[in-house]
C-alpha cells in the first residue's frame, strides 16, 4: 500500500504511451486511406502565373504526384519516429513500477540507471522528431510547395514566435 502512488504513476505513463500509439496509428491509417486529393495543393498559386491547370498536363500531374509521394514518405518516417517515442513510455512505465518493488539499494540503483537511460533515449528521439519536422516544413516553406493547411500552420508558428520576441523586447526595455 505504501507504493500505490508509484504504481498509479506507472499506470498513467503506460496509458499515455498506449494512447499516443493508438492516436499515431489512427492518424497513419487516415493518411493511407485518403485518396490523393488535388485540393490539398495550392493550385491558385500555380495558376497565378497565367499557366494551365497543372492537373490537366502530364508534367503538372507528375509534379503533384511527386509532391504527394514525398509527403507520404515524410508522414511514414514521422509515424515511425512517433511510434518509437510513444512506445518508449511503456518500458519506462514498467521500470517505474519495478522501482517501487525493489527492496535492495543496489538493485534500486540499477533500476534507476536503466530508467534514466530510457528517459534519455526518449528525449533524443523526441528531439530527432522535432528537428526532422522543422527541416521538412522549413524546406517546404522555402521552396513554396507547402499545402494551404501547412502554410496556415507555418504562419501561426511565425506569428506566435514574433509575439514572443516582441514580449521579450518589452521586458528588456522595462528593465
* 93-139 pLDDT per residue, tens: 999 999 988 989 999 999 999 999 999 999 999 999 999 988 887 77
Residue 171 domain-assigned? no
**Whether pLDDT at 59 is above 80:** no
Residue 33 domain-assigned? yes
Cell of 132: 526532422
Q: Could you report the per-residue pLDDT of 83-94, keeping only the tens digit for each?
A: 999 999 999 999
Residue 166 domain-assigned? no
Residue 100 domain-assigned? yes
Residue 135 domain-assigned? yes
Question: Mean pLDDT across the chain, nearest whole number?
Answer: 76
Residue 151 domain-assigned? no
- For 88, the domain range is 4-145
Task: Judge if pTM exceeds 0.75.
Answer: no
Residue 49 domain-assigned? yes
The CA–CA distances, whole Å, from 153 to 24, 51, 57, 64, 164 equal: 19, 27, 29, 21, 17
Number of domains in the chain: 1
Mean pLDDT, rounded, for 166-174: 52
Residue 168 domain-assigned? no
Amino acid at each position: 500500500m505504501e507504493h500505490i502512488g508509484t504504481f498509479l504513476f506507472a499506470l498513467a505513463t503506460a496509458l499515455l504511451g498506449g494512447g499516443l500509439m493508438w492516436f499515431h496509428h489512427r492518424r497513419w491509417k487516415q493518411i493511407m486511406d485518403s485518396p490523393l486529393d488535388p485540393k490539398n495543393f495550392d493550385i491558385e498559386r500555380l495558376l497565378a502565373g497565367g499557366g494551365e491547370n497543372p492537373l490537366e498536363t502530364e508534367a503538372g500531374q507528375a509534379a503533384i504526384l511527386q509532391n504527394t509521394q514525398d509527403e507520404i514518405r515524410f508522414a511514414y518516417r514521422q509515424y515511425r519516429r512517433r511510434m518509437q517515442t510513444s512506445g518508449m513510455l511503456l518500458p519506462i512505465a514498467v521500470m517505474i513500477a519495478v522501482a517501487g518493488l525493489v527492496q535492495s539499494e543496489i538493485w534500486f540503483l540499477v533500476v534507476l540507471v536503466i530508467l534514466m537511460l530510457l528517459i534519455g533515449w526518449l528525449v533524443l528521439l523526441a528531439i530527432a522528431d522535432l528537428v526532422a519536422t522543422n527541416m521538412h516544413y522549413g524546406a517546404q516553406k522555402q521552396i513554396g510547395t507547402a499545402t494551404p493547411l501547412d502554410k496556415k500552420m507555418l504562419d501561426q508558428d511565425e506569428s506566435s514566435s514574433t509575439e514572443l520576441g516582441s514580449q521579450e523586447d518589452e521586458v528588456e526595455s522595462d528593465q
